[in-house]
Amino acid sequence: MVGAPVLIFDPRPKTKRSDLFDREEELSRFEESISRRDPLILLLGLRRTGKTSLLLTGLNELKVNYLLVDLRVLEEKLQITRRDIAFLLEKAVVDFLRRTSFKERITKYLEKIEGLRIAGFEVKVDWRTKPYYFISDLFHALNSWAEDTGEYVVVAFDEAQELARAYRVGFDRILSYVYDYLRNISIVLTGSKIGLLYRFLRIGDPEAPLYGRARLEVKLDYFNREMSLEFLRKGFEEQGIAVSENTLEKVVDVLNGVPGWLALYGYYAVRYSVSNDVLERVLREASAVALNELKHFLELRYQARSRYLTILKYLASVEYAVWSEIKRYLESREGVAIDDKTFSRLLKNLVDTGFVEKSSKGYRIADPALKYSLREIVS
């Protein structure tokens, strides 16, 4: 089908308020925080709840100067080096210089950074000079420019928990330095593995660099049932396509309130047809994505791989399960007793990475696509 551009159902992250469904309150809180120049802002929510969309929409609406560092590409890497981060910062700077109207002025500050070469829109870190302090130097240069010109810069790290694997870089130290001394920079961290992000920041640990620093948090949840239906209604209405309530109910039954999966369904339904086949296709595609993310998680935790899978597959077969039920199941599968601490650690890792959700009813797999794919795999 050709026709109107897909807006609410566009499968890319949104960048405009008019394409963003709901999230009024979260967006206002985020924008107010940026306008107040809060030094540290956390944008939290499971995968595909719309963090990147909210981030981009807010930054664009306020027309602030910003660098966006997309850390998703590091998800598969066991260890992250200074060089990996520098490479992503290079990209973020190039992108910023292309957008900003202050390119000439900023370039003058950036040129003073040791080991950084700038030519036109080319920005390259020269590793022959071993620019050990490149990351902090970059923040310094941006802050100096901002201070001298009465400007202000937001540096956003998308999926910031990945920085936890930059062992040798000491990123928490760099962040606390920016927090304390670089007054014209705000840091935004988004995270879908919320527990991991907290662990990385060690906000409650008196020994940690970021201890005691105030932060603002904006949390995005899945849509509830009514909002999910409304999301679909609005998206189809935008395209002038009539869809029965029955059909919408069925889609929400299968995809729950995951904004990203609902958007993907809408996108395909508009492109092809509103049919069971399309729903089936979306579920399969979504499952492949979810399973791939799980694979990355397991690759980094090779030793406990089969235990994690046993736990997850069990949770995929039930609605909810409590701690002792899961433990008993794992023990019966292995035929050995597992001590409480070991088991708790396994379960906590699954919660901290967002694969499993903990609530008053017990533990469950919140993402229907992950649940589906776990039921499909055999080993």
Ligand X SMILES: Nc1ncnc2c1ncn2[C@@H]1O[C@H](COP(=O)(O)OP(=O)(O)O)[C@@H](O)[C@H]1O
Interface positions with ligand X (CB under 6 A): 8, 10-14, 20-23, 45, 47-53, 192, 259-260, 263
Q: Give which of Mg ion, ligand X, none residue 43 binds (C-beta under 5 to 8 Å, depending on kind).
A: none
Tell me how far CA of residue 77 lies from CA of 81, 87, 352, in angstroms: 10, 14, 18
User: Kind of pairing, strands 40-44 and 185-191?
Assistant: parallel
- In whole angstroms, the minimum distance from the beta carbon of 295 to ligand X comes to 18
- In whole angstroms, the minimum distance from the beta carbon of 228 to ligand X comes to 11
| Cβ neighbours of 76 (radius 10 Å) | 12
Alpha helices in the chain (DSSP H): 24-35, 51-62, 82-99, 103-110, 134-149, 171-181, 194-201, 225-238, 245-255, 259-271, 276-299, 305-316, 323-334, 340-352, 368-376
125 or 263, CB closer to ligand X? 263
Taking CB under 5 A as the rule, which mask of x and - marks residues 198-217 in contact with Mg ion? Answer: --------------------
d(CA 95, CA 106): 13
Beta-bridged to residue 190, according to DSSP, are: 43
d(CA 117, CA 126): 7
DSSP track, 30-49: HHHHHHTT-SEEEEE-STTS
Q: Give which of ligand X, Mg ion, none residue 263 binds (C-beta under 5 to 8 Å, depending on kind).
A: ligand X
131 or 259, CB closer to ligand X? 259
10 or 285, CB closer to ligand X? 10
Cβ atoms of 126 and 116 closer than 8 Å: yes
User: Kind of pairing, strands 116-119 and 122-125?
Assistant: antiparallel
List all residues 6 or more positions away from 370 whose beta carbon is below 8 Å from its beta carbon. Answer: 287, 290, 291, 294, 316, 355
Q: Give which of ligand X, Mg ion, none residue 38 binds (C-beta under 5 to 8 Å, depending on kind).
A: none
Taking CB under 5 A as the rule, which mask of x and - marks residues 42-61 in contact with Mg ion? Answer: ---------xx---------
Matching residue, tokens 């849509």? 223
- In whole angstroms, the minimum distance from the beta carbon of 50 to ligand X comes to 3
47 or 82, CB closer to ligand X? 47
- In whole angstroms, the minimum distance from the beta carbon of 13 to Mg ion comes to 6
Number of residues that bind Mg ion (CB under 5 A): 2
Q: Give which of Mg ion, ligand X, none residue 327 binds (C-beta under 5 to 8 Å, depending on kind).
A: none
209 or 260, CB closer to ligand X? 260
- In whole angstroms, the minimum distance from the beta carbon of 130 to ligand X comes to 35
Q: Give which of ligand X, Mg ion, none residue 58 binds (C-beta under 5 to 8 Å, depending on kind).
A: none
Q: Hey, which residues between 51 and 110 contact Mg ion (CB under 5 A)?
A: 51-52
- In whole angstroms, the minimum distance from the beta carbon of 190 to ligand X comes to 7
230 or 249, CB closer to ligand X? 230
List all residues 6 or more positions away from 280 whose beta carbon is below 8 Å from its beta carbon. Answer: none
Q: Give which of ligand X, Mg ion, none residue 82 binds (C-beta under 5 to 8 Å, depending on kind).
A: none
Q: Give which of Mg ion, ligand X, none residue 16 binds (C-beta under 5 to 8 Å, depending on kind).
A: none
Q: Give which of Mg ion, ligand X, none residue 170 binds (C-beta under 5 to 8 Å, depending on kind).
A: none
Residue 129 φ/ψ, nearest 5 degrees: -90, 5
How far is C-alpha 192 from the chain's CA centre?
A: 4
- In whole angstroms, the minimum distance from the beta carbon of 172 to ligand X comes to 22
58 or 209, CB closer to ligand X? 58
- In whole angstroms, the minimum distance from the beta carbon of 162 to Mg ion comes to 12
Matching residue, tokens 């807006």? 7
d(CA 257, CA 255): 6
52 or 57, CB closer to Mg ion? 52
Residues that bind Mg ion (CB under 5 A): 51-52
